[in-house]
Structure formats: structure tokens, C-alpha cells
Structure 1
Amino acid sequence: GSSGSSGPPIILQGPANQTLAVDGTALLKCKATGDPLPVISWLKEGFTFPGRDPRATIQEQGTLQIKNLRISDTGTYTCVATSSSGETSWSAVLDVTESG
């Protein structure tokens, strides 16, 4: 076993690149662990997300859900796990396409 202070948070499961159709629902997973327990936040193209968009919510486990997808939702989404001992991030690309 290791002793002393632990390092930054560890992301056990990060978001995966995905291509979805307009009006679909995106689920971008982010499961992190650490001591102390990290707080999960999300960025889109490097900016705080979801902001005021009611279509997007961060669920209890840290999963980002975006409903009623639009073409404009395409972009790079980054999960950031932050604790007092550091931060770890994991990015994935969401590509929203016209269906049919």
C-alpha cells in the first residue's frame, strides 16, 4: 500500500467519442475516484457547461446528459474531476448529424 498524500483524482470511466442523430439524447459518462472525493464538472470547447441550457443536466454519478440534440451541440466535451489534491480531465468528441 502507498502511504502519505494521494495524487490527483483518477477518472475510472471517461466519456467516449460518439456520433448521434439530431433529437437524440447524449450520455457522456464520467466516473472518478480519489481521496478526497473529486467534484465532477464539464466543459464544452473549454467553456463551462451546461450553463443555462435546460436540455443538459449533470446526473448524480457525474454523467452529462443532453436531450433533444442539435447540430450546434457538436464539439469537444471535457470532464474535469477536481479535488484539493489536483485535477484530472478527459475529453471526448460529440458529433451530431442530420438523421436520414
Structure 2
Amino acid sequence: MSERGAGETEDVYDLVLSAVRARLPGLDITEDDIDRAHRLPGPNNKIIVRFVRSGPGSVRDQLMARRLELRGHNDLFINESLTAQKNVIYRSLLEAKKTK
């Protein structure tokens, strides 16, 4: 849980689980799949989630594969949190894919 305001606490794990379950039905996600989840500082109140497992068949990869289904829902956005170096690699791979 994290502090939200004057005496008010928020269960970030429950918020993540309910948002994902509501928008991506059929995705079997539980609190056991999440290693950590917390809000980032700043005006947007973004939440960052670290999953216990990644790789083929993991809940994380299933979520990333289905994230495009969220287009049109302005209240939920899922993307990778990459280091600067990995972001450069990712962008160059995307550009190579576009140019074939």
C-alpha cells in the first residue's frame, strides 16, 4: 500500500489488478505475478509494476502482447520502462523493422 493523502491509503496492487482485469478479460493475473508496484513521483500519478517472471508464456508478456487492445482507453496506458541504452536499441530495432 502507499500513502495517498491525509490519512488515506491506497492499495496499488489491487488498483493494478482490477484495472487489468476490467480492460483485458481472460488475462489471468494475480498479486503473486507482481514483484513490486508503486506510484512514481510527479503530476501524472503513474504506476510502475515489476513482474516476478518474464519470458514466453509469462503474465508480463501476455500483458505486453495485449496492450494494443487498450487503444481508445485514455485512462490506462502500458509501456516498457527501459534504460537509456536499451531505449536506443529498441528504437533502432523499430526503425529497422519499418525499413525492412
Higher relative contact order (CA 8 A, sep 6+): 1
- TM-score by length of structure 2 reads 0.29
- TM-score by length of structure 1 reads 0.29
Higher strand share: 1
The structure having more radius of gyration, on CA atoms, is 2
